[in-house]
Amino acid sequence: MSSENRPPVSEILNVMPELAPYGKQAAMLYPVPGAPGVQDSSIGGPLLWPIEDTWPTCLVPDEEDESGFPPNAMVPVAQIFARDVPGPWWPAGFDLLQILWCPTNHWDPPRGQAGGSPVIELRWRRAADVRDVLTTPPQPDRYDSDDCYTLTPCTITAEPLVDFPFFDELPKELQPRLAEASKQIHPGGDVITCLAGWKVGGWPTWQATYPHSYLVPCTVCGTAMPLVFTVASDDRVGTNVGRFGELRLFICPDHHQTFQADVY
């Protein structure tokens, strides 16, 4: 569901006060095709990339070329400035998050990344440290044949909200209460949980195929990694991940280079 018919959080909590401890800060991102610049938060837009940093390439064999050669240049997925999307997901000292992927399907992606999905790279930066900007990043040689990962540059607006978990994340006794509250708040469908779309923070929209209490541990410290970014399948942007599903990035708050990508 979208957040369109969602009442204010205070109203949701009036109906179901037991949900309060499960509220997580999030921001829904609404992309609009346009011409974002390197200083803008964007989806599929140009990145504020320091000229001295090597642009990421992917060497993982893909559907288009089993050898994985030549290395395929990655493409921007999202660039988020903290000023536009403030929240607890920012590691201390950083104010810019950049997400890139290799725009092909990989059946044998690196550890922690989902089979079939594009291979992901992340950069956390301090925007003020970027002096000379790379203006013409290398372009990929290979794209997935269904063109699922070629993004239309979009500017974004962010809507901060409190996200609530899907039934499976709640204790058993609260699950029927959530069903009742959900009907009471919006008879047309669930507007409390599983908000669909591009999102920073919040809860994953777990599907029935996932085991209860599925946690994604950090490979360095073992801590359960929170969801930091959700990539949506979106016609405006030209994305189709996990067959019109979502791609989720779980990132360790203490080891912010350690992440897991998951698609459904």
H or E segment to which residue 185 belongs: helix 175-185
**Count of Cβ atoms closer than 10 Å to residue 62 Cβ:** 24
Strand, coil or helix: 81? strand
User: Least Å distance between CB 103 and Zn ion?
Assistant: 8
User: Least Å distance between CB 37 and Zn ion?
Assistant: 27
104 vs 239, which CB is nearer to Zn ion? 104
67 vs 213, which CB is nearer to Zn ion? 67
User: Least Å distance between CB 257 and Zn ion?
Assistant: 10
**Count of Cβ atoms closer than 10 Å to residue 86 Cβ:** 15
User: Least Å distance between CB 221 and Zn ion?
Assistant: 3
Distances from the Cα of 75 to the Cα of 12, 118, 151, angstroms: 39, 10, 9
16 vs 100, which CB is nearer to Zn ion? 100
Strand, coil or helix: 21? helix
What type of residue is 248?
R
What type of residue is 161?
L
167 vs 259, which CB is nearer to Zn ion? 259
User: Least Å distance between CB 64 and Zn ion?
Assistant: 9
Rule CB under 5 A: which residues touch Zn ion?
58, 60, 62, 72, 102, 104, 119, 218, 220-221, 252, 254-255
| DSSP of 122-184 | EEEE-GGG--SBPSSPPPPS---TT--S-PPPEEEEEEEEEEB--GGGS-GGGHHHHHHHHHH
User: Least Å distance between CB 239 and Zn ion?
Assistant: 16
β-bridge partners, 217: 224
User: Least Å distance between CB 28 and Zn ion?
Assistant: 27
Strand, coil or helix: 55? coil
218 vs 237, which CB is nearer to Zn ion? 218
72 vs 117, which CB is nearer to Zn ion? 72
CB-based contact 161:39 (threshold 8 Å):
no
48 vs 75, which CB is nearer to Zn ion? 75
